[in-house]
Chain A
Amino acid sequence: MKNLRKTMAFIAAMTMLTGAFASCGSSENSSEAGKSTVSESSSSSGQTAEMSDSDRIVAAAQAGKVGNWGLGNEYEILALLTKYGQKTEYLSQAFDMDGFDDDSITLASAMTYNELGLVKNDYEGGYGYGDTVGIIDMNNEGVAMLEDNLFCTKEFAEKNPNTVKAFISASMKGWEYACENPEEAAQIVFEAGSSVSSDHQAYMASEVKKLVETDTKGNTVNEYGKMDEEAMQQTLDLAKEYISLDDSTAASKLQTLTLDDIRDTSYWEDASADDFGDPEKTSVSVQLKWLPQCQFMGYYVAKAKGYYDEVGLDVDIVSGGGDIGETTAVNNSTVDFGVTWVSNLISADAGGMDLLEIAQVYQRSGLVLVYKK
């Protein structure tokens, strides 16, 4: 009898729960019919003829199915949409590729070294699409903006020039070793507190190597951390066009920025020539833009191989992730150095920060749009 009562209570509770969700259930069902017709028509048109990249971009933009994470990562996509005469609207993409997987996003943003690997490969966390997906490369489209760099505040650089140069020198040595030995670098990062599987880490190392050693035009770069004037200028020009700031003071400052306001090549030049003295500040920290992964392998390798010790630096690598603001952390002196995208540094400086790029690690854009063939 008691048991029966308990079961009844459970059934009643469940009925209430389903009742509570009835609204969502019914709306899902009613639209199911509409959705299936749409997906049928889109798949049949995809099979009839091989689409060109521009057709793909226009089709996805018209359907409102271009995805990007937003939050300062979207400017190359806006430039690309403008190039093809489309409205600069995109869907907010989550940090996984589920939206691409379930076709709610047909042109999804992906970093070559991260999301693209997850889409293609079938290791842990991967979607296993293999060669059934294609990509549209921002470098080939002429809308590339430079990404991962090294920066600090102008004040810090002026006060501690030798620390800055020593840090660049040892970090670039780390990048050089990592690019020569990507597998070992992947292992070092994995052991240093990796956020992803070791298979994905190895994939990432091999892809990051390409971004560090190839420029936007596909030429090989031998000098690690070099600031390519032309690519930097293109980044700044696109930033001025596509970063929209509501704060009119910041918006007008953005338009006045020149390359000299956002970067100083002298530290990198001296560092490359090994022309620096003892560091003024020996204990420094660097704020990464994201979780520990091979995107930042150069720093982990420099630390593990003792390159920082060689120049008399004790370096603390601070991992980012989620909503961490690396520009803010550097600006308020929580950390000394930071890794960010050039566009993010530009908008921070427009907003009133005094940040200075001291080296450009990635020589080409790692952003692509991925689609199902």
Chain B
Amino acid sequence: MLHSKKVRSGVTNIGCPLLFGAALVASWQTGLLHKILKTDEYILPYPMRIIDIMKENSDKIMLNVNASVKVALIGLLLGSVLGYLIAIIATVFPKYGSGGLTIVSAFNAIPIVALAPVFINWTKDVSDIAEERSMAAKILVVTVTSMAAMSVNAYRGLTELPPFSEDLMKTYAAGRLTEFFKLRFPNSVPYIFTALRVSVPGSVIGALVSEYFAEYIIGVGRQIRENILIAQYATAWAYIVTACIIGIVMYAILMLAESIILKACLHRT
């Protein structure tokens, strides 16, 4: 019974999107999609053409992918660690914590397009080498955007504890550190993943958009903009597809990590 249910949900979870995707690509390649969207093969080139360009330029694309992924990952790491630290501070000082978190999460509401040029001006003194200071600016943008999601979610994970668990800790005469490592931290792990589900795709977007404004010209996002402006739509699409793949792969890795780590956590308790 349980087995058949699993199979059925597997079919609907994976089969349906797969079928939809295949139908989309088929209608795209046959030109049906162009008729539906009332566009031409110039603005929306055929998938095979896009794949050909990706194959021809694999070296150049990988160079740009490296730059973008580096920014996204470093920014994500810094932002998540900072966000978690902020959540800890907010937990230690609960009276002022929620107010502080509101301000941090307000950063999330600032559009990246507004943030990126400001940070590029801020980081002009970081290095005399344009590549380095542009990197710093881009990482900073991703850091700020992923910090907000982590701090808000981690704060919930650190404070919304199972009923009486805190009292239990007190009866054990546990210190604050013990309470943190035995109770609060394990309780916050699922919330960390909730935050990452938001900030992983966010970090990719943050990296791509901040490349638009960076002084040093590199990255998948910059290539999309360059090619659209000189009317090279097929090449632009090759980079758009690349950007999608980056996002999907990073999200898939996160999902995998989540299932493994959460399972390990469940086994322990």
Contacts and interface: CB of A to CB of B under 8 A. Distances in A.
Given A9-B99, A92-B214, A94-B213, A72 B124 contact: no
A35 B42 contact: no
A19 B122 CA distance: 16
A27 B132 CA distance: 12
A266 interface: no
Contacts, number: 141
A327 B231 CA distance: 7
Contacts of B117: 94
A341 B92 CA distance: 61
B89 interface: yes
A38 B96 CA distance: 44
A323 B231 contact: no
Interface in A33-52: 34-35, 38
A328 B43 contact: yes
B82 interface: yes
A250 B97 CA distance: 57
B108 to A, nearest CB: 13
B140 interface: yes
Contact of B217 (A27, A35, A70, A250): A70
A12 to B, nearest CB: 4
B126 A27 contact: yes
Majority SS at the chain B contact face: helix
Interface residues of B, number: 58
Contacts of B49: 249
A347 B231 contact: yes
A332 interface: yes
A91 interface: yes
A10 B128 CA distance: 37
A247 B231 contact: no
B215 A99 contact: yes
The bracket for how many chain A residues form the interface is: 35 or more
Given A24-B140, A246-B60, A5 B95 contact: yes
Nearest to A73: B229
Contacts of A331: 42, 231
A352 interface: yes
Majority SS at the chain A contact face: helix
Nearest to A11: B96
B130 to A, nearest CB: 5
B235 interface: yes
B254 to A, nearest CB: 23
Given A20-B147, A246-B57, A248-B56, A31 B43 contact: no
Interface in B56-83: 56-57, 60, 78, 82
A27 B135 CA distance: 13
Given A5-B95, A94-B213, A246-B60, A16 B100 contact: yes
B234 A247 contact: yes
B129 interface: yes
Contacts of B78: 23
A91 B96 contact: no
A104 interface: yes
Interface string A91-111: 111100011001010000000
A348 B89 CA distance: 55
B259 interface: no
Contacts of A245: 232, 235
Contacts of A64: 129-130
A192 interface: no
Nearest to B129: A64
Given A38-B128, A102-B124, A13 B99 contact: yes
B75 to A, nearest CB: 11
A353 B42 contact: yes
Nearest to B215: A91
A250 B237 CA distance: 14
Given A32-B125, A245-B232, A246-B235, A17 B215 contact: no
A248 B54 CA distance: 11
Contacts of B121: 98
A92 B123 contact: no
A35 B95 contact: no
A273 interface: no
B232 A35 contact: no
Contacts of A31: 125-127
Contact of B124 (A23, A104, A246, A249): A104
14 contacts: A12-B100, A13-B99, A17-B103, A17-B104, A91-B216, A91-B217, A92-B215, A92-B217, A99-B215, A243-B230, A246-B227, A250-B234, A332-B43, A351-B234
Given A71-B225, A328-B43, A348-B231, 4 more contacts: A13-B99, A31-B127, A104-B215, A351-B234
Interface of A: 5, 8-10, 12-13, 16-17, 19-20, 23-24, 27-28, 31-32, 34-35, 38, 64, 70-72, 90-94, 98-99, 102, 104, 243, 245-250, 323, 325, 327-328, 331-332, 344, 347-348, 351-353
Interface of B: 39-40, 42-43, 49, 53, 56-57, 60, 78, 82, 85-86, 89-90, 93, 95-97, 99-100, 103-104, 117, 120-130, 136, 140, 143-144, 147, 213-217, 222, 225-235, 238
